[in-house]
Amino acid sequence: MIAIDIEAVQRAAQRFSAAGRVLLKDVLDPVLAQSLTKTLTSGLSWELTTRFQGETRNVAHSTLQQMSAPQREQLRGAILRGAKQDFQFEFLEYSLGDDNLQALGKDHLLARLLGELRGDAGKAFFGAVLGLKNIAHITAFVSRYEPGHFLMPHTDYVNGEQREAAFVLNLSARWKPEWGGLLQFIGSGGDVVDTFVPQHNTLSIFKVPQAHMVSYITPLAELPRLSIAGWVYSALPTAPLARY
């Protein structure tokens, strides 16, 4: 499924080694990328993911749709108040953990893609870009950002997990920078030192830990920001990853 050639991988490895991050274009066969985009726009049981009292909470999208307008406003207000006090995020997520993969079935396009990423070809690709000889595990989930959604600065570091890198496969049919949803990297002084625009069929890979954020999705956005994101591990996590 990965369509870039050896020379492109080598150039990506050089950029990653120098900067700790790289953006690759046209990583999948165009027909496959279009099929994935179509898959992400229909048939998935999304959950709103956010934080309350320092813990990640997930709310089924169907539950959100059943809420009254005042209830949704109350929830939104609580999320924004949390963002003023601590690390916060708000977007829709579809886990590619065991339960959802079983529900999708092994022939589903998402299951096949994750299988390739976790297989020899996927591990060889990430190993070449990251300069890693051993990749123990790869996790992934699907994200959908709509107007008002955001992800505040964080590093992706989790105690007890050997995350070597994060990746984001961008699958929105098109994207404009003025819509927000930009993957931005934060320097030690708090400045934005690099920005990746989530254009269709591009793959962002960056070293963990590294401060980054997804900028606020503005009301101008005509489409959701769709992606498949995850992490590359050099050792199996000490605790089960039920959702991923």
Give me the pLDDT at residue 179, please: 98
How far is CA 190 from each of CA 30, 152, 212, rounded to the nearest angstrom?
37, 13, 10
Give me the pLDDT at residue 43, please: 84
Query: Which CATH number does 6-41+95-233 carry?
Result: 2.60.120.620
Q: Is the pLDDT of residue 244 over 60?
A: no
Give me the pLDDT at residue 120, please: 94
Give me the pLDDT at residue 54, please: 87
Contact criterion met (CB below 8 Å) for 94 and 46 = yes
Rounded to two decimals, the pTM is 0.95
Element (H, E) at 141: strand 137-145
Task: Write the pLDDT tens digit of every residue in 46-100.
Answer: 999 999 988 999 999 889 999 999 999 999 999 999 999 999 999 999 999 999 9
Average the pLDDT over 208-213 and give the result: 98
Give me the pLDDT at residue 239, please: 65
Give me the pLDDT at residue 45, please: 93
Q: pLDDT category, 16, cuts 50, 70, 90?
A: very high
Contact criterion met (CB below 8 Å) for 157 and 227 = no
Of all residues in the chain, the percent with pLDDT exceeding 70 is 98
Average the pLDDT over 10-39 and give the result: 97
**All structural domains of the chain with their residue ranges:** 6-41+95-233
Average pLDDT value over all residues in the chain: 94
Q: pLDDT category, 42, cuts 50, 70, 90?
A: confident
How many Cβ atoms are within 10 Å of 23's Cβ, its own excluded?
21
What is the Cα–Cα distance from 209 to 164, expressed in whole angstroms?
A: 8
Task: Write the pLDDT tens digit of every residue in 214-226.
Answer: 999 999 999 999 9
Tokens in use for 49? 């993911």
Q: Is the peptide bond before 209 cis (omega within 30 degrees of 0)?
A: yes
The stretches of 67-209 forming alpha helices (DSSP H) are: 69-85, 98-104, 109-118, 120-130
Average the pLDDT over 166-184 and give the result: 98
Burial (CB < 10 A; 0-12, 13-18, 19+), residue 116, is: middle
Q: Is the pLDDT of residue 10 over 90?
A: yes
